[in-house]
A and B are shown apart, each in its own frame.
Chain A
Amino acid sequence: MDSEPILSVKNISKTYRLGEVVVPALRGVSLDVNQGDFLVITGRNGSGKSTLLRQLGLIDIPDSGEIILQGQPVAHLAEARRREIRLLKLGYIFQEYALIPELTALENVMLPALMLVSRTECAKRANGLLKKIGLDRRSHHLPKQLSGGEQQKVAIARALVNNPEIIFADEPTANLDSVAAQSVLEIFRNLNSHDRITIMMITHEEDETAHANRRITLSDGKII
């Protein structure tokens, strides 16, 4: 384990406004994540799990506190710089796959890499990833032609295409049947154990926590 955490969360807070009501989603959360961690976040609905992951994945901005990524404060950077970090260092997997419907599986995976490397290199990387997750024969299918599990695998491949430092996965198995869910978890386990990719994953399923080497539980916006 590296001595310096890859990701440090310092006392972050976040509130949302629902009409007239102010909802505190995170209340001073602090956390260190080390290189190679497979960390699962659990907690009841509304406990702040997704909110925390979105702050860490630079999808949202905390009201206060700081996020240190590889020694650099990133929480309150300008959006252009945050986008660059999302592109180069982070991979985010949404619960509902979030694929671009008009792009094939291969094109969806290639998309973030097209900003950085040649199309040939993108295709090579994307094909390699699709093969690794067992979808090489479905690479020219559109998302609507794929099952939920296959779509989630494509989303995982897309998150990996730029060789990120950390993968954030927001309940990646929530919409999958048990077989597909196991298959997705197996991919995460391999990525973590073989490729030493740091993974932070939200789950509701107790048995999925067994894949992780760390677990935190949130309740009312705090780690308990």
Chain B
Amino acid sequence: MTGREAKLPIFLAWRQIRRGNPWTLVLIIFLIAVAFINLVFVSSLFKGIIKGTDQQIIDTSTGDLVIIPKNDQGTFDNSDALLTKIRSNQYVAAASPHADIPARISLGERSGTWNVVIIDPTVDQQVLNISQRIEDGSYLQADDEQGILLGRQIVGGEGIEMDAFSLRGVKVGDQVRVSALDTATSFTVRGIVATKFLDTDQKAFITRQAAIKANPALAKTVTSIIVRLKEEAENDAAVASLRQASGSVANIYTWQDAAGLMRSVSSSFTSIDVILSFVAVLIAAITIFIVIYLDISGRKREIGILRAIGIKPSIIQWAYVLQTLFYTFTGVIVGSILFFGAIVPYFAVHPFALPIVDASLSFEAADLTIRIESIFVVAVLSGLIPTIHFTRIKLLDAIWGGK
């Protein structure tokens, strides 16, 4: 194609876009926009669920890192010294010592065995956000010697997964009896923790002071240290640094290592996302192909006339590909404006309330780029295939009908 000829597709395409049927133009752009939204929405929802689940694990259970003792007793021999080292580490924002004690909790005739976690409420708020997940009542005060927080799986109630094994019907202000390490103490239920993360919702929480009052031997008991890293810290570097600092007394696990079953759930969602993404790409491809194919099929005679007056097939093909690229570009822009300007902000304010997480939409730039690229590839093929066909069929058939 010569330089002069190269301008002709632009000449034709632009005039056909500008002066063609405006309703057809709007419809094609709208359908491409919808296909684009469909393509990114489902994936963004699944990524939102995965990200939300991961964040929930971090925020309510594991922090960024979990440090546990290497010894057989399962408690740190000198937790104060270790905590000092950890807190002074360059990557660490905060560290909260936990003591997980298996306990029998009872209310009247009903009872069950759950872990009671001994925490320092003030420090723990810097690492986990359980304080913001109180469904009823209030969070623990630092000096609370009588209060207990119960996870909603312990409390039970309608729609609660583990209701059958729960205390069924505990309310804020009720007295529950906690038996652990050969002592039994009564606690007042201060609040009910509802994080939607099953592990956390099956735990009870008391302050260190309350634990000491019940059993002075628990004063220094620490079974794990939950660590929150600084925003800019890299996980691998932090783990390496903390391993060096803690010497041989501790094992350091990332939140992924510590997440247990929830990692399988997240992985399952990732697999489903891949399958649904493939289906969404297929649906978008078929939609775009049909829309553009029908549009160009309606111009078969016009293509025939262009051929009859001597216009090169490559020029005709480029003219329609350029039109298709324009439709696609505009459709993706319109779809992006609707998606990022309306749908994403809406679900940020009103997340999907799923049983395991409140999910908003999440996306990655690289993933979006691939989806947009795939739409453009499909669009170019959709424009090219019928145009190539109509520039190769018999001229008579193109102008006056026939196959």
Are B16 and A102 closer than 8 Å at their CB atoms? Answer: yes
Does B70 have its Cβ within 8 Å of any Cβ on chain A? Answer: no
Are B312 and A115 closer than 8 Å at their CB atoms? Answer: yes
Does B230 have its Cβ within 8 Å of any Cβ on chain A? Answer: no
Residues of A within 8 A of B85 (CB): none
Residues of B within 8 A of A111 (CB): 306, 309, 311
Residues of B within 8 A of A94 (CB): 305, 308, 399
Whole-angstrom distance between the Cβ of B105 and the nearest chain A Cβ = 78
A54 to B396, CA, bound (A): 9
Are B395 and A142 closer than 8 Å at their CB atoms? Answer: no
Are A114 and B8 closer than 8 Å at their CB atoms? Answer: yes
Whole-angstrom distance between the Cβ of B187 and the nearest chain A Cβ = 80
Whole-angstrom distance between the Cβ of A109 and the nearest chain B Cβ = 11
User: What is the size, in residues, of chain A's interface with B at 8 Å between Cβ atoms?
Assistant: 28
Whole-angstrom distance between the Cβ of A41 and the nearest chain B Cβ = 18
Are B15 and A112 closer than 8 Å at their CB atoms? Answer: no
Whole-angstrom distance between the Cβ of A122 and the nearest chain B Cβ = 10
Are A86 and B309 closer than 8 Å at their CB atoms? Answer: yes
Does A98 have its Cβ within 8 Å of any Cβ on chain B? Answer: yes
Residues of B within 8 A of A83 (CB): 307, 310, 312-313
Contact of A100 among B5, B305, B399 (CB under 8 A): B305
What secondary structure prevails in chain B residues at the interface with A? Answer: helix
With most chain B CB atoms within 10 A of its CB, the pick from A92, A94, A114, A158 is A114
Contact of B396 among A59, A84, A101 (CB under 8 A): A59
Residue of B nearest to A119 (CB): B7
Are A100 and B8 closer than 8 Å at their CB atoms? Answer: no
Are A60 and B306 closer than 8 Å at their CB atoms? Answer: no
Residues of A within 8 A of B399 (CB): 59, 94, 98
Residues of A within 8 A of B309 (CB): 86-87, 92, 111-112, 158
Residues of A within 8 A of B278 (CB): none
Does A103 have its Cβ within 8 Å of any Cβ on chain B? Answer: yes
Q: From residue 32 to 86 of chain A, which have CB atoms closer than 8 A to chain B?
A: 54, 59-60, 83-84, 86
User: What 18 additional pairs, Cβ within 8 angstroms, besides A103-B15, A115-B315, A142-B19?
Assistant: A59-B399, A60-B394, A60-B396, A84-B310, A87-B309, A87-B310, A94-B399, A98-B308, A98-B399, A100-B306, A102-B16, A107-B11, A111-B309, A112-B310, A115-B4, A115-B310, A116-B4, A118-B4
Q: Which residues of A contact B (CB under 8 A)?
A: 54, 59-60, 83-84, 86-88, 92, 94, 98-103, 107, 111-112, 114-119, 142, 158, 162
> What 3 A-B pairs have minimum CB-CB distances, sorted nearest first?
A87-B310, A102-B19, A86-B310
